Amino acid sequence: MRLSPSVEAIPRSGIRAMAALAQGRQGLLHLEYGEPSFFAPEAVRRAAAEALLTERMVYTPTEGPGDLREAIARKLARVNGVTVALERIFVTHGGVGALYASLASVLGPGDRILMPDPCWPNAVGQVLTLGAEPVFYPLGAENGFMPEPETWPIDASTRAILINSPQNPTGVILPRAVLERIAAVARRHGLWVISDEVYDQIYFGERPHSMLEVYPEGTLAAYSFSKTYAMTGWRLGYAVLQPGMQAHTTKLVESCYSSSSMVAQVAALAALDQVEQREIDAMVDAYREARDRAMALLAAADRQRYVPEGAFYLMLPVPAGHASDSFARMLLERKDMVVVPGATFGRLADREVRISLAAGADVVAEGVGRWLELTEELARSSG
Ligand code: PLP
């Protein structure tokens, strides 16, 4: 008897590996977790508690209830600037479910998909379980982590492009001009664009553009309640599909998990209808403050390479001659801080470690300070 080879091909998560090394140790600076440290807004928690006491929790329509999908359509118009017919909105088990609904609806064994390096590793795992092949396109620190779509290798097996903006793990937002260049490549070759937009409402300057605005005819977009509303554990997200796809994706989602959680749907409706923008702004302000403190420290040390514009992550370089895994272990052993080795996100990203700005401004500032200390100690000992 054997286990599934496509599952065995998924690399082990470096985030969990670091957390395992850190387990049981007191007094560590935790910069590895990609989740908000806030409670979900009170209106969300109250709506869910009330529903649990007064309603039977049952299966819902696979694509999600109509009132929630209508509220999502209003949000897409207000926040993302796109008008989307209700039948295109599919409520899912988290943003990860929205990505899977999109990827599995269009990819099959042997199909190729262009994916960024660095990339959020769960997306790579999903592609591998489908028997499809990720082909990585580089996002290098020397280019401000921007892609060069005109250089991507595309052949007859290439079906799709994955993009993620604002991005995990770099915090980079793809400007509209870059989205347009990606759309031009996708159009020329007849490719889907799977656009991971789960951080759409976490940005520090200009609003990020949605790929749905730029490539409306070929984009499948993934969104989540996890990040905007600090609802990671509620597990709710949604995909925006293409017209005519709902029945196809319903077969897939029904086979996987029937429908998303009803209590989370009630909570999500309250999030959209009752949470005021200032509550979201207060959380984003905390991430921005952490980003600004980190940037000030890096600039003062003449070590600032780029400025993350959204999500809540910052990549810090690994000193020359070290790999991200061993450098992350050094940070743990010598500086009592936990980061994610870049190798988790791709081969090129082995030159980086990721820290989370969601850890809070003081923790982030302390972490950047310790990273500077270690890189200076290593430079002294090698020079
Ligand atoms: N996409 C990216 C880039 C993420 O970072 C995450 C979560 O960390 C997700 C998707 C999944 O979001 P969710 O937690 O809602 O499943």
Which amino acid type is present at position 25?
A: R
> Is 260 a pocket residue for ligand 1 (Cβ < 6 Å)?
no
> Is 196 a pocket residue for ligand 1 (Cβ < 6 Å)?
yes
User: Per-block average pLDDT, block size 10, for the chain (383 residues)?
Assistant: 92 82 92 90 98 97 98 98 98 98 97 98 96 96 95 98 98 98 98 98 97 98 97 97 98 96 98 96 97 98 97 97 95 96 95 96 98 95 77
CATH topology agreement for domains 5-39+278-382 and 42-274: no
Residue-range domain boundaries for the chain: 5-39+278-382, 42-274
Q: What is the H or E stretch that residue 79 is in? A: none
Integer Cα distance of 246 and 50 in angstroms:
31
> Is 224 a pocket residue for ligand 1 (Cβ < 6 Å)?
yes
> Is 167 a pocket residue for ligand 1 (Cβ < 6 Å)?
no
Residue of 168, 229, 315 to test ligand 1 pocket, by largest number of atoms within 8 Å of CB? 168
Task: Give the per-residue pLDDT at 19.
Answer: 85
> Is 121 a pocket residue for ligand 1 (Cβ < 6 Å)?
no
Task: Give the per-residue pLDDT at 305.
Answer: 94
Please give the CATH number for the structural domain made up of 5-39+278-382. Answer: 3.90.1150.10
The answer to whether 343 touches 14, Cβ cutoff 8 Å, is yes
Q: Which atom of ligand 1 is nearest the CA belonging to 120?
A: 3
Task: Give the per-residue pLDDT at 383.
Answer: 66
Distances, alpha carbon 261 to alpha carbons 84, 88, 239, 359, 377, in Å: 23, 20, 15, 28, 50
Residues in the chain: 383
> Is 310 a pocket residue for ligand 1 (Cβ < 6 Å)?
no
Tell how far the Cα of 378 is from the centroid of ligand 1, in angstroms. Answer: 34
Task: Give the per-residue pLDDT at 177.
Answer: 98
Q: At what angle do helices 14-22 and 324-335 cross, to 10 degrees?
A: 20
Out of 3.90.1530.30, 3.40.50.720, 3.30.450.40, 3.40.640.10, select the CATH number for domain 42-274. Answer: 3.40.640.10
Task: Give the per-residue pLDDT at 15.
Answer: 81
Q: b/e string for 100-128 if b means 16 or more Cβ within 10 A?
A: bbbbbbbbeeebbbbbbbbbbbbbbbbbb
